[in-house]
């Protein structure tokens, strides 16, 4: 299953509803889908559970200024590429925003509708090139981790296993020939078993997903089993064992998203039960991690915001849709949906 080329989506944030519609129509004619928000609060609420490829942001919204919106999105781990839209005479403010991450700016004048499609297309092309490069770098990194994991398993891992067996054989002889030395050899054998288990866990962590079609299903089931053993949280895997994901890139990123979601839930949610699910509906593949914890406070996540950002980043790389639904004291559900290429 390969990732689909999802339609491009631009979020237009402007308190002038009429102007927002005109900008939307100008982009629609170029084949770019749009969604609008007529306030800063509306934009933040939409972006809390959705994402877009680009945001056109009016700097002078009546409720929340553009610069503060960007800051809040960064705190939420929901940063998004943006182009600022401002009135005539405010070019200096727009340039300052470009120093804070804006990719370009548009002036609200008589030529706005003429310039919008060209500017948006140029920015989207730039973003696509950067994302393609980032995807290639991450894929190379994953391949190298897989190689190191394989070498670790086949080399050091096998040597450690041999030492563990040798220690067990020595212990048997010591019990018969030198009983007073039994306890030290028991401790040695026990420590070697611990090292072997840690080595296997490290090797598996470096290359968790098998490259065959059923690899993702097995890896997610093992993630649930391993988490349940270590944390004592009641976590289960739900999914059809016959689901196949033949695209290794999609499989790896879905697994890493699940891994990060589980880690965040264990660290921050205080959940008692969790689940990891993988379902296929027609050509659509959906992976979900759910918990019954205390929910996410988007503004006060602390270091978990980095995890949220990485999940979104990985979802973007495979052109997947990431959705986060969280309610205080009712838990969090993180879903990632991928569709195959046509």
pLDDT of the residue at 178: 87
What pTM was estimated for this model as a whole? 0.56
The predicted pLDDT at position 160 comes to 76
Other C-beta atoms within 10 Å of 240: how many?
A: 10
pLDDT reported for residue 158: 74
Confidence (pLDDT) at 2:
41
Q: What is the pLDDT of residue 173?
A: 87
State residue 5's pLDDT score: 47
Mean pLDDT of each 10-residue bin along the chain, 342 residues long: 61 93 92 93 88 90 89 79 83 80 89 91 89 73 68 68 82 87 85 76 64 78 86 90 85 89 87 94 91 70 61 83 82 86 50
Within 13 Å of residue 10, how many CA atoms lie on the same side as its CB?
Answer: 28
Strand partners, 12: 36, 56
Q: What is the pLDDT of residue 25?
A: 93
Across the chain, the runs of DSSP E, i.e. the strands, are: 9-13, 33-37, 54-58, 82-87, 105-108, 234-239, 273-281, 284-291, 321-327, 331-338
**Cα–Cα–Cα angle for 250, 256, 261, rounded to 5 degrees:** 125
């Amino acid at each position: 299953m390969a990732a689909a080329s999802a339609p491009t989506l631009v979020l237009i944030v402007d308190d002038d509803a009429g102007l927002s519609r005109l900008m939307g129509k100008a982009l629609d004619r170029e084949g770019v889908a749009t969604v609008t928000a007529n306030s800063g609060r509306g934009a933040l609420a939409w972006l809390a559970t959705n994402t877009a490829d680009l945001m056109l942001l009016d700097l002078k919204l009546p409720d929340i200024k553009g610069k503060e919106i960007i800051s809040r999105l960064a705190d939420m781990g929901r940063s998004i590429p943006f182009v600022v839209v401002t009135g005539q005479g405010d070019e200096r403010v727009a340039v300052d925003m470009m120093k804070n991450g804006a990719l370009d700016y548009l002036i609200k004048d008589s030529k706005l509708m003429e310039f919008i499609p060209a500017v948006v297309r140029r920015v989207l092309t730039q973003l696509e090139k950067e994302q393609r490069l980032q995807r290639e770098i991450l894929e190379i990194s994953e391949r190298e981790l897989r190689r190191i994991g394989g070498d670790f398993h086949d080399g050091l891992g096998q040597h450690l296993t041999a030492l563990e067996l040798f220690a067990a054989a020595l212990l048997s002889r010591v019990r018969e020939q030198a009983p007073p030395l039994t306890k030290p050899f028991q401790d040695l054998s026990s420590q070697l078993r611990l090292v072997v288990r840690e080595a296997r866990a490290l090797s598996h962590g470096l290359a968790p997903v098998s490259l065959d079609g059923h690899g993702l299903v097995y890896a997610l089931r093992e993630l649930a089993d391993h988490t349940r053993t270590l944390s004592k949280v009641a976590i289960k895997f739900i999914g059809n064992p016959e689901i196949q994901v033949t695209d290794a890139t999609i499989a790896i990123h879905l697994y890493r998203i699940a891994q990060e979601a589980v880690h965040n839930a264990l660290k921050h949610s205080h959940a008692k039960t969790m689940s990891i699910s993988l379902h296929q509906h027609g050509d659509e593949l959906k992976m979900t991690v759910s918990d019954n914890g205390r929910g996410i406070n988007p503004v006060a996540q602390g270091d978990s915001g980095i995890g949220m950002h990485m999940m979104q980043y990985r979802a973007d790389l495979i052109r997947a849709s990431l959705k986060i639904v969280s309610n205080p004291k009712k838990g969090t559900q993180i879903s990632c949906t991928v569709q195959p290429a046509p």
